[in-house]
Amino acid sequence: MANILFELKQAGYSYFGRFPALCSVDLTIMQGAKTAVIGANGTGKSTLLSMLDALIFPDQGSVKAFGMPLDDKMQENSDFTMAFRRRVGLVFQNPDIQLFCPTVRDDIMFGPLQLRMRDSEAAKRLDKVVTELKLASLLDRSPCQLSIGEKKKVAIASVLAIQPEVLLLDEPTAGLDPQTTRDIIDILVSENLSGTTLVTATHDLHIIEEIADTVHVFGPERNIIRSAPPEEVLSDRTFLQAHNLVHIHRHRHKDAGVSHAHQHDVKHHH
Ligand SMILES: Nc1ncnc2c1ncn2[C@@H]1O[C@H](COP(=O)(O)OP(=O)(O)OP(=O)(O)O)[C@@H](O)[C@H]1O
Ligand SMILES: [Mg+2]
């Protein structure tokens, strides 16, 4: 039987105790699962990922990871914290938060070295992600001088280099070109096939059938309003429109403005 990796019970969080960001979330994530989190802007997706990465702790309810509570006492247990950082990696929505070294090479090596891997092992991991993500030409560049998409790729590479058991991905394909998006999804799917658990927040509905077997939809109350397989959510157009998950494409026929739901959202890979 698969292990439970994360268990949230009625978990809630407000920034500064004032700005509600996550409300009464019940969520279980099994080892090896592929989970997607979707929802309109500001519904709590990034907050959930921060909580799963133990960057913030719930102020309501509870969160457990690997059977241990994630709360402010966690820091006192440095063995657990270190093990947690090896096991769980977060790709931030904003790559500028993630990249701070003088070169791309240093940024990718940072995680493995920080987690006390040998230099030779860190170098091996660097080579692997650089090949997979085609980053060779960027290695000596300064991350802050890259394009946004290049930064995102480097941020993803720096987390993949840790080879965590759980990858938390906040908008991993936002702003990436189609080929790069394809490469990233292929990497994620292959990591999952070798056992990595994936949790992805995204607005790219066309990727979720590949990167998710369960989709949790966040609503305006910043709670989960629906959990279902991707096909089920994607085929419910009324629901998608009601929750601001597909955009309305408007085009003009002669003088009349005609609008209908855009078709860019589902099944593009066949
Ligand atoms: N640092 C912060 N301080 C105060 N409020 C915050 C902070 N970060 C997020 N919030 C609030 O918490 C709520 C949830 O934000 P969150 O970033 O989790 O949403 P999201 O679903 O990831 O949105 P997006 O699709 O825009 O990335 C929002 O109402 C937001 O205004
Ligand atoms: Mg977000």
Residue pLDDT, tens place only, 71-129: 999 989 989 999 999 999 999 999 999 999 999 999 999 999 999 999 999 999 999 99
- Residue 29 located in a structural domain: yes
Domain range for 252 is 4-261
Per-position DSSP letters for 118-132, written without gaps between them: -HHHHHHHHHHHHHH
> Atom of ligand 1 at shortest distance to CA of 203?
25
Report how many domains make up the chain. 1
- Residue 267 located in a structural domain: no
- Residue 266 located in a structural domain: no
CA dist 11 and 25 (Å) reads 5
Distance 14 CA to ligand 1 centre (A): 10
Could you tell me the CATH number of the domain that includes residue 253?
Answer: 3.40.50.300
Query: By C-alpha distance, which of 269, 98, 270 is closest to 178?
Result: 269
Q: pTM for this structure?
A: 0.93
Q: Whose CA is nearest to atom 31 of ligand 1?
A: 42
Pocket test of ligand 1: the residue of 41, 169, 244 to mutate, having most ligand atoms within 8 Å of its CB, is 41
- Residue 270 located in a structural domain: no
The pair of structure tokens assigned to 266 is: 């589902």
- Residue 9 located in a structural domain: yes
Q: Is 220 in the pocket of ligand 1 (CB under 6 A)?
A: no
- Residue 84 located in a structural domain: yes
- Residue 179 located in a structural domain: yes
Q: Whose CA is nearest to atom 2 of ligand 1?
A: 15
User: Quick check: 218 pLDDT over 50?
Assistant: yes
CA dist 17 and 54 (Å) reads 17
Query: By C-alpha distance, which of 20, 25, 48, 24 is closest to 36?
Result: 48
Pairing verdict, β 34-39 and 60-65: unpaired
Pocket test of ligand 1: the residue of 13, 37, 46 to mutate, having most ligand atoms within 8 Å of its CB, is 46
- Residue 268 located in a structural domain: no
